[in-house]
Chains A and B, each alone.
Chain A
Amino acid sequence: MPRIKTPRKLSGLPAIKGFRPYGPDIDKQATAIVLHFEEYEAFKLCDYEGLNHSAAARLMQVSRPTFTRIYASARNKIAQAFAEGLAIEVEGGTVYFDSNWFQCNFCGCYFNQIDPAQPVETCPLCGKKHFQQMEVAELANIQTN
């Protein structure tokens, strides 16, 4: 069994859902290339924001070699789409988003923090101060059940 992928952290959703080629010889029925969210993010961080691989890897909370593999795969897919005239769809991947989650010990609810600049002081539901921040591994419990 392959090892489970480390979730990659994203700063936000892509600005687009995908791209479609145009021109007389385009086969509209051809299956689109699926570019994962993490690949889009890697491509954006490196080529648009101009970060190097190790800085971008830290932002996405993966190791530098893993980042390089994601990035290589992104470029490969984009190049394939360009060369073969295929559409690109941005979706899927093993990712999580940039908001911190907390669990309240009093009412048992889970809640997230919207503005990272503002510290969380009380549980938004019951107003108590007994809560704890959740780890990435625990988050899977909330989201997949």
Chain B
Amino acid sequence: MKIAIASQGNTLNHNIDLQFGHCAFFVIYDKDSGGMEISPNPFRDAPKQAGLQAVKWLASQNIKTLIAGDFGPKVQPLLDQLSIQLIVLKKPDTRIQDIINLLNQQ
């Protein structure tokens, strides 16, 4: 299962990004294989609908779960439609590494 996490930077020591659409990087973590990929968000500076475009881009990479600090109101219906699960973590000081540790605990 592939999980995308909105991140403020390109290392695991950066914090989770509180905004989804305009976040700096996406950390794409494959829980089954343990593989990880960090890619810059191509829609970071999009003037509008960054969230919607980012969702479509992530959906095309078979992502089933999204983790970010917050999501805009337009994004959720689209995610419901694509059956992508949302996890909202309203803790700005959480590092990406902490999230991956949590995921690996299961």
Contacts between the two chains (Cβ within 8 Å), count: 65
**Contact indicator B102/A107 (Cβ below 8 Å):** yes
B87 contacts partner chain A, Cβ-Cβ < 8 Å: yes
Interface size of B by CB at 8 A reads 24
Interface size of A by CB at 8 A reads 24
Chain A: which residue is nearest B73 at the CB level? A143
B78 contacts partner chain A, Cβ-Cβ < 8 Å: yes
Interface-central residue, B71, B84, B102, B105, by most chain A CB under 10 Å: B102
Chain A: which residue is nearest B83 at the CB level? A114
Per DSSP, are chain A's interface residues mostly helix, strand or loop, or mixed?
loop
**Contact indicator B80/A126 (Cβ below 8 Å):** no
Using CB atoms and an 8 Å cutoff, list the residues of chain A in contact with chain B.
10, 12-13, 97-99, 107-115, 122, 124-127, 142-145
The 8 closest A-B pairs by CB, nearest first: A127-B106, A110-B88, A109-B89, A111-B87, A13-B77, A126-B102, A114-B83, A114-B85
